[in-house]
Structure 1
Amino acid sequence: MTDTPATRCGYIALVGRPNVGKSTLLNRLIGQKLCITSRKPQTTRHRIMGIKTTADVQYVFVDTPGMHLDNKHAMNRYLNRAASTTILGVDVIVFVIDAGGWAKDDDMIVEKLKQAGVPVVLAINKVDRLANKEDLLPLLASVNEKMAFQDIIPLSATKGVNIEVLEQQLANLLPHSEFFFAEDQITDRSMRFVAAELIREKLIRRLGKELPYALTVEIEEYVQEDGMLNVGAVIWVERPGQKAIVIGKGGSMLKEIGRQSREELEKMLDTKVFVRLWVKVREGWSDDERALRSLGYSEDS
Structure 2
Amino acid sequence: MTDSAESPVQPDSEVSASAVPEAATASAADRHPDFHAGFVAFVGRPNAGKSTLMNALVGEKVAITSAKPQTTRRAIRGILTADAGQIVVVDTPGLHRPRTLLGQRLNDIVEAELDGVDVVCVCLPADEAIGPGDRRIIEQVGRHPRAKRVALLTKTDRVRPDDVAARLIEIDALAEWATLIPVSAVTDDQVDVVRDELIRLLPASQQLYDAETHTEDSIEVRAAELIREAMLEDVRDELPHSLAVVIDDVEAPEAEGGVTKIYASVFVERDSQKGIIIGRGGQRLKAFGTAARKQIEQLIGGRVHLDLRVKVAKEWQTSPKLLDRLGF
1:127 is aligned to 156
Computed over aligned residues only, the root mean square deviation of the Cα atoms, in angstroms, reads 1.2
State which of 233, 241, 245 in structure 1 corresponds to 2:272: 241
- 1:287 match: 318
Deviation at 1:71, TM superposition (A): 2.1
For 1:96, the equivalent position in structure 2 comes to 123
Instruction: Find the residue that maps to 2:176 and give its secondary structure.
Output: coil
- Please give the secondary structure, in 2, of the residue aligned with 1:147: coil
Fraction of identical pairs, as percent? 36
Amino acid of the structure 2 residue aligned with 1:191: I
Letter in 1 for 2:74: H
TM-score normalised per structure 1: 0.95
* Structure 2 residue aligned with 1:200: 228
Deviation digits for residues 76-114 of structure 1 (CA, Å, limit 9, x no counterpart): 101111112111110011110010221211111111111
Match of 1:13 among 33, 41, 63: 41
Q: CA deviation at 1:137?
A: 3.1
How big is the shift at 1:4?
Answer: 3.4
C-alpha separation between the residues in 2 aligned to 1:95 and 1:116?
13
Correspondences of 1:269-288 after superposition (within 5 Å): 269-288=300-319
- Provide the residue aligned with 2:262 in structure 1: 231
**One-letter amino acid of the structure 2 residue matched with residue 93 of structure 1:** V
Indicate if the aligned counterparts of 2:277 and 2:284 stay in contact, CA closer than 8 A: yes
* 4+ aligned runs moved over 4 Å, structure 1: none
Counterpart mapping for 1:68-217 below 5 A: 68=96, 70-100=97-127, 101-117=129-145, 118-130=147-159, 132-217=160-245
Letter in 2 for 1:83: V
Q: 1:240 to 1:32 in 2, by over 3 A?
A: same
User: What letter is aligned with 1:271?
Assistant: G
CA deviations on 1:129-180 (whole Å, 9 max, x unpaired) are 01x2112333222222211011111111111111111111111101011111
Matches of 1:121 and 1:92 in 2, distance apart?
Answer: 7
Partner SS for 2:162:
helix
Instruction: State the aligned residue count.
Output: 295
Please give the alpha-carbon distance, in whole angstroms, between the structure 1 residues aligned to 2:54 and 2:198.
Answer: 13
TM-score (norm 2): 0.88
Alignment-derived partner of residue 85 in structure 2: 57
| Aligned partner (choices 255, 265, 269) of residue 286 of structure 2 | 255
CA distance in 2, matches of 1:247, 1:199: 14
Q: C-alpha distance in 1, partners of 2:191/2:149? A: 16
Q: Distance in 2 between matches of 1:229 and 1:266?
A: 9
Instruction: Deviation per CA, 1:194-227: give whole Å up to 9, x if none.
Output: 0000000001111113211111001101121222
User: 1:42 & 1:72 partners in 2: Cα distance?
Assistant: 12
Q: Whole-Å Cα distance in 1 between the matches of residues 173 and 246 of structure 2?
A: 44
Deviation at 1:55? Answer: 2.5
Q: Which residue of 1 aligns with 2:18?
A: none
Query: What amino acid sits opposite 1:91 in the alignment?
Result: D
Give the whole-Å Cα distance in 2 for the aligned partners of 1:175 and 1:135: 34
2:123 touches 2:153 (CA, 8 Å); kept in 1?
yes
Separation (CA, whole Å) in 2 of partners of 1:12 and 1:4: 22
Q: Distance in 2 between matches of 1:142 and 1:133?
A: 14
The 2-side partners of 1:53 and 1:141 are apart by 32
